[in-house]
Structure 1
Amino acid sequence: MNDGADRPSQHEGPWLRLSGRVVWVDLAKSVMSVLPGVVAIALFDVEPTDSSLWPFVAIAMWGIISAGADLVRWAATRYRVTPDAVERRTGVLVRRERMIYRDRIRSVDLTAHLRHRLSGLRVVTVGAGQQAGAGESALHLDALSVADALNLQERLLIGSGKPPGVPVSSAEPVDPASAAVPEGRPDGDREQVQVLARFRAGWVAYNVVGVWGYVTAAGVLWGAYWALGTVGVDLVQVGHSVSGWDDLRAWHRVLIVVGLGAVVGGLGMAVNFIVGYWGFELARTRSGAGTYLRTRRGLLSRREVNRDEARVRGISIGQPLLWRWMRMADTNVITTGLSVWSVQQPSAIVPRGPLGVAREVAREVLAPADPFAAPLVRHPGAALRRRAWWATWCVAAVVLFFAPSLVVGLVPLTVLWFAPPLLILALLLAWASFRALGHGVDREYAIVRSGTMSRTTSALRRDAVSTVAVRQSILQRRLGLSTVTLMTAAGWWAYPAPDLSARDAVEFASDASAGLLDAYRGDAR
């Protein structure tokens, strides 16, 4: 699979192997997968029966098979870097080739799980703005020595003076967290680093709230129940005896379950956040080839993502509705070449935290502009009426859905008491959605704000807007409203400003698109 136009490589280079340390890592992985069963039998006197040993056998088989497959992958994988492309060949029964032309490369990221960090290895991921939904994938090299990975990153992303195809000596691994001048960079081309944000302990409080805490608690408690059950400990029975469950009233039991879920889930999410974001650093790095926004994070697994500032089109700041009172915010860059669907969230430049930190980082990244400090234009009251109309009809649709069941007696009439609170809740959400609306233009940036469950403010470069859509539904036409959508080849691709006054829609669309609609604007007048 090739990325780019069909064009032959003009320069050949030697095919290189992945680091030989992968073999020892796989051997250690096989041994570690057998240890749980040995420890359970030797230390906890677990009876060697089929019912008690199958989990340990499954773990051992998974570890050995995955390590063996990884060993085969290592033996069959070759890669090379030429002046115009990076290539990888892999596969035994089915041979696969992947080539990305260097002028199409959008990111070169380094990842290190615990086993890689202990063995001085790094996983290199070369991205070309591929979309997972289209069946595309990045080019992965799992794994290279630290020195080789740093040099490859320099050559592909920042640009190194090393001749193509020449492997780097990996005798002395260099930790990237402390490498001011990665190996392979010429003397005098020293990297300039401007740190924009670092990990703060107070951020933990912003990442332990939410319904996902109960999902985390369920996973933690189930895992503890299964693990303790293999050594003969019944966690449910222990909980019953400690709490006196049988003697408790129903509402006491509900409080215990809710409280236990909140505590266990909060602790689990706190540990997960600390492990994932310990040592976080956002920095602007400058070199002769340009500037990059680099994030590094992770306690056990270390991840580094570099974002080319030349491809940054703006920033989005989202505020979840339920936690807006905490002034909580999520901050993401609007950029090309990064997948918005990735679970790793490469577009997030700072973890969830205070709104003040998000705006401070946005101001540093977008300097000298500061679009998030610009006042926004409020939308007309007709936008609130439209939302109230939809809220009322949604509640009415729910009542009509249950009406036949109410008539025949399948559902008791008492459920109708839920209709008024449901209507009040829907109207409150409509009010929150209306309050979130706003738009504006500040120098070279267009700003749009909307959202019900998460109020998102997006600042998008006006010269990055490729398409502007002005839409009116039947109800909007009756209310004198229009929705303006700014489209760009970055981020979520479409950034709407819902329910503007129809008179202001064309003017805002023209201003936001740097004069793209000037001709239509004149006709509208």
Structure 2
Amino acid sequence: MSLTQLTAAPPTPPAPQWRRLSPRMLLVHPVIEVGKALPAILGAFLAGHSSGHDGSGSRWSLAIAGVVAALSLLRWVTTRYRITPQQIQLRHGLLRRRTLAAPVSRVRTVDVTSHLLHRALGLARVVIGTGTSDRKGRDRLVLDGLTAATAAGLRAELLHRAPAVAPGATVQPMQPEMQLAVLDRRWLRYAPFTLTGAVTGLALLGVGWRVVTEGHVDVNRLGPYRAAADRLGHWSLGVDIAVVTLAVVLFVAVASTLGYLLSFWNFRLTRHAGGTLHVSRGLLTSRATSIERRRLLGAELSEPLLLRAAGGARCLAIATGLRVGRGAERGGEILLPPAPRAEATRVAGAVLGTAGPFVAALPKHPAAARRRRVARAVGALLLAAAISGLVAWAAGWSAWLLLVPAVLLGPAVALGLDRYSSLGHALVAGHLVTRFGSLVRRRSALAVDGIIGWNLRSSWFQRRLGLATLTATTAAGRQRYPVQDVGAQEAVRFAAECVPGLLTQFLA
């Protein structure tokens, strides 16, 4: 062997090639984009018919649908991606070419979603979270159109990376995933108390109203509507109100239960051997979210008022890289759907490795905080009463309307007292624990290592009572976790206890 062969450098491995998304997306993109443009297409169709030119409406609507479908195909043609040992790169755009790149080491979460049309074609949409919890979706890479097998392999590659093994060391076999929670069908009894059906109902009413308006439909000619209106017309006002209220409650309960099934069917929470949490759920639209353990900075118990009255709660993750602010059903932070509160507490403790932050008793806030909470609730009611009184006097309405605020005085005081009883804070097992809220009571446990700063705010009314609001800022979750209406001196002491030394330069 020659000396040249001995000293030659090893060949450089070829760079990974740019890859396209699955060509099956050519069948998906046109359907999705035409569906989004359906109001414009329907408007062009109705405008053509209303003008007396029956053929023009059809031609314009078909032309718009054709243009939208053609433009949607360019998304597949112009999109490329590749994964190197160091980076994930995504290139897309025709007139304005953009290349997004993110280090593999910065991957926080991988969210795999398959809508009904995706599932029919064996496809999945992969969202790779690489930054903070951005509500606008920035700092994320989206690969819409991978095969299901490719998406699963990509998730495992990015989040289940094995550490480097020293030469001669023994490689331990990977342990199976540990199941933390699975859907219990008995939890369906909590679905009517989530009020997701109210949002669904409003959306359906909006769509129906738009169709009726655009189509110039006379609802009085519809048999069911005319029959219901005639029946209500023969009853007294009190009976009409009771019947309509009962119908609305039943509709919301049924819609909420249906939404619960669609969102959380086949729900399963597991922990990978490397510590990664994996959440899978969904009936028509399947969704799988993976969260690295080192990116998880805490957990939260969320108890909306009706769900709390039924003894239920849900568990949310406080982690970097997750989509928040979209609702628990649509966001990626859900760790447990509405379930018994004891089960939510167990899951939160299992996720963090300690149940202390969720079972520890929290000290009460000062009595001044109770006075402020009650005063705010009653003050808002009195302001509404004054405005309604002026409107009633100007319009010449009955003076009996002024009795409505008096009837609501008791519930307003009860709301203020409940908001006060929800207040609490503590430092438990290395976690900042804060609790607040009445309509939605939240008990959050945030690791003190994830706190990057404090915000101490005191309004004019709070200063009169010696109170302040201490807010911990972090890169995870909602990014702001307040300790509301606490004593000013207690706020400073508590902040120094959670993160020693952070406030020293301001207190000197």
Q: Relative to structure 2, which stretch is displaced further, 502-511 or 347-356?
A: 502-511
- Which residue is 2:126 aligned to? 124
Equivalent of 2:21 in 5, 11, 18: 18
Q: Could you tell me whether the CA contact under 8 Å between 2:375 and 2:416 is conserved in 1?
A: no
Q: Say which SS state the counterpart of residue 193 (structure 2) adopts.
A: coil
Equivalent of 1:445 in 431, 434, 438: 431
* Shift of residue 451, structure 1, vs aligned partner: 1.3
- Which residue is 1:505 aligned to? 491
Q: Say which SS state the counterpart of residue 468 (structure 2) adopts.
A: strand
Amino acid in the other structure paired with 1:378: K
Q: Say which SS state the counterpart of residue 142 (structure 2) adopts.
A: strand
1:210–1:136: structure 2 CA closer, same or farther, 3 Å change rule? closer
* Shift of residue 378, structure 1, vs aligned partner: 1.1
Query: TM-score, normalised on structure 2?
Result: 0.80
- Which residue is 2:250 aligned to? 263
Q: Could you tell me whether the CA contact under 8 Å between 1:129 and 1:339 is conserved in 2?
A: no
Question: Deviations for 1:305-364, whole angstroms, at most 9, x for unmatched residues?
Answer: 001111111111121224422122132111111132245211111112221111010111
- Which residue is 1:436 aligned to? 422
Q: Say which SS state the counterpart of residue 291 (structure 1) adopts.
A: coil
- Which residue is 2:187 aligned to? 203
1:223–1:54: structure 2 CA closer, same or farther, 3 Å change rule? farther
Unpaired runs of at least 5, structure 2: 1-12, 37-47, 164-170
Q: Could you tell me whether the CA contact under 8 Å between 2:79 and 2:93 is conserved in 1?
A: yes
For 2:160 and 2:67, locate their aligned partners in 1 and report how far apart those are by CA, in whole Å. Answer: 38
Q: Say which SS state the counterpart of residue 385 (structure 1) adopts.
A: helix
Q: Could you tell me whether the CA contact under 8 Å between 1:313 and 1:460 is conserved in 2?
A: yes
For 2:56 and 2:221, locate their aligned partners in 1 and report how far apart those are by CA, in whole Å. Answer: 20
For 1:429 and 1:335, locate their aligned partners in 2 and report how far apart those are by CA, in whole Å. Answer: 31
Q: Relative to structure 2, which stretch is displaced further, 447-456 or 296-305?
A: 447-456
Unpaired runs of at least 5, structure 1: 1-9, 34-48, 162-186
Q: Give the fraction of aligned pairs with identical amino acids, expressed as a percent.
A: 30
Counting only pairs closer than 5 Å after superposition, residues 51-450 of structure 1 correspond to structure 2 as 67-129=69-131, 132=134, 136=138, 138-159=140-161, 190=174, 192-209=176-193, 212-217=196-201, 219-220=203-204, 236-241=222-227, 244-286=231-273, 290-342=274-326, 344-368=330-354, 370-402=356-388, 405=391, 410=396, 412-450=398-436
Q: Could you tell me whether the CA contact under 8 Å between 2:435 and 2:483 is conserved in 1?
A: yes
Question: Deviations for 1:444-502, whole angstroms, at most 9, x for unmatched residues?
Answer: 12211111322211111122222234443443344333332222221122212122234
* Shift of residue 401, structure 1, vs aligned partner: 3.8
Question: Deviations for 1:94-139, whole angstroms, at most 9, x for unmatched residues?
Answer: 3232222222222222111122222222222122125656672522
* Shift of residue 410, structure 1, vs aligned partner: 4.8
Q: Relative to structure 2, which stretch is displaced further, 401-410 or 332-341?
A: 401-410
For 1:390 and 1:218, locate their aligned partners in 2 and report how far apart those are by CA, in whole Å. Answer: 30
* Shift of residue 503, structure 1, vs aligned partner: 4.5
For 1:130 and 1:92, locate their aligned partners in 2 and report how far apart those are by CA, in whole Å. Answer: 29
1:79–1:363: structure 2 CA closer, same or farther, 3 Å change rule? same
Q: Say which SS state the counterpart of residue 93 (structure 1) adopts.
A: coil
Amino acid in the other structure paired with 1:510: A
Q: RMSD value over aligned CA atoms?
A: 3.8
For 1:127 and 1:511, locate their aligned partners in 2 and report how far apart those are by CA, in whole Å. Answer: 32
Amino acid in the other structure paired with 2:130: A
1:295–1:388: structure 2 CA closer, same or farther, 3 Å change rule? same
* Shift of residue 80, structure 1, vs aligned partner: 0.9
Q: Could you tell me whether the CA contact under 8 Å between 1:510 and 1:517 is conserved in 2?
A: yes
Number of paired residues?
Answer: 469
For 2:365 and 2:120, locate their aligned partners in 1 and report how far apart those are by CA, in whole Å. Answer: 56
Q: Could you tell me whether the CA contact under 8 Å between 1:213 and 1:262 is conserved in 2?
A: no
Query: TM-score, normalised on structure 1?
Result: 0.77
* Shift of residue 143, structure 1, vs aligned partner: 0.8
For 2:245 and 2:344, locate their aligned partners in 1 and report how far apart those are by CA, in whole Å. Answer: 32
* Shift of residue 518, structure 1, vs aligned partner: 6.7
Q: Could you tell me whether the CA contact under 8 Å between 1:126 and 1:138 is conserved in 2?
A: yes
1:105–1:378: structure 2 CA closer, same or farther, 3 Å change rule? same
Amino acid in the other structure paired with 1:341: G
Q: Could you tell me whether the CA contact under 8 Å between 1:111 and 1:301 is conserved in 2?
A: yes
For 1:63 and 1:207, locate their aligned partners in 2 and report how far apart those are by CA, in whole Å. Answer: 39
Q: Say which SS state the counterpart of residue 138 (structure 2) adopts.
A: coil
Q: Could you tell me whether the CA contact under 8 Å between 2:49 and 2:57 is conserved in 1?
A: no
Equivalent of 1:464 in 447, 450, 456: 450
Q: Relative to structure 2, which stretch is displaced further, 206-215 or 115-124?
A: 206-215
Q: Say which SS state the counterpart of residue 81 (structure 2) adopts.
A: strand
Amino acid in the other structure paired with 1:481: L
For 1:480 and 1:467, locate their aligned partners in 2 and report how far apart those are by CA, in whole Å. Answer: 22
